[in-house]
Amino acid sequence: MRNMHKIFLILLMSAGLSPAFANDIYITQSGAGLNLDLIQDGQNNVMGTTSARMSLTGTTSVLYAKQTGATNVLTLDLEGTSLNANIVATGDSNDIVLKCNAGSSSSYCDNWTADIDIIGDSGNITGDSSNIDIDVGTTAASSASNVVLQATGDSTTVNLDIDGASAPVSITAVGNLNNFQVNLDGPGDSNGHQITIHHTGNSATYDVVQSGAYDSILDIITNTGSGAAADVDISQTQ
C-alpha cells in the first residue's frame, strides 16, 4: 500500500480583526502521495503570493484549500502527474492563481484536475470582484488536464490559458458583469478541445480562442436579463 502523507491545517481569524492579523501560509512540498488540507477563515488571508508561491511537486497528490472571507489570496505552482486540486473560496474580492508547468523548461504537468468553487457574498449587490487565473502547460504541453469552475457572484474575472492534449474545460457561472477569457492551445486529442460555459446573469463578456490538430468544440449557454447584453468573441483554428 502506498504511504500517504496527510497534512491538515486550519487557521481562523475573526472578521472583525485588523487586516494586520491575517494568516499567511507558504508551503514547498515535493514527493509522492501527498494529501494536503488547508483551511483559512477570515479576511486578508494568504496562501502564497506572486513573489512567494506555494509549490507542490510530485505524483499522486491531492490538495483541498478553502478560504472563507474577503480579500483572500491563493497562489500555487503545481508540477508532476496525477495531481488533484480542489479549491473553495467564499467571499468578495478573492484572488486565485493556479499554475501547472508554468516554470522552467524541465517542469511538467500531466493528468491533473482542478475543481474550483467561488461563492460570492449574496448580500453584496454591487459585485463580488473575484479573479481566477489558471495557466497550464506553458513550457511543455500537458498530456491531460481537466478544469471545472463554478462561480457565483458579480464582477468575476476568469482567465484560463491551457496548452495540452486532452483538456476539457467546464465553467458554470451565476452573476452579473462577469468576464471569461479562455485560451486552449496544443495538439488536442481525438475529441478536440472542449469548452463548456453556462452563464446566468446580466452583461457577460466571452473571449475564447481554440487551436489544435483536431476539431475544437465550444458550447456557450448564456441567460441574460431583459435589456442586458452578452459580448462574445470566438476564434477557432487548426
Burial of 116 (0-12, 13-18, 19+ CB in 10 A): buried
pLDDT tens for 116-167 read 888 765 443 334 788 999 988 766 667 778 889 988 888 889 999 988 777 7
Instruction: Specify the length of the chain in residues.
Output: 238
Burial pattern 206-219, b for ≥16 Cβ within 10 A else e, equals bebbbbbeeebebe
Question: Is this structure's pTM higher than 0.85?
Answer: no
DSSP state string for 33-83: SEEEEEEEESSS-EE--SSS-EEEEEEEEEEEEEEESSS-EEEEEEEEEEE
For 85, the enclosing helix (H) or strand (E) is: strand 73-90
Type of residue numbered 207 = D
Angle value at C-alpha 51, between 46 and 56, nearest 5 degrees:
70
The answer to whether 216 touches 192, Cβ cutoff 8 Å, is yes
User: What pLDDT, on the 0 to 100 scale, is given for residue 125?
Assistant: 35
- With CA atoms as reference, report the closest residue to 58 among 2, 20, 122: 2
Which of 50-59, 80-89, 162-171 is the least confident region?
162-171
Neighbouring C-beta atoms of residue 84, cutoff 10 Å: 17
C-alpha cell of residue 134: 489558471
Whether 19 has a pLDDT exceeding 50, the answer reads no
- With CA atoms as reference, report the closest residue to 98 among 120, 123, 115: 115
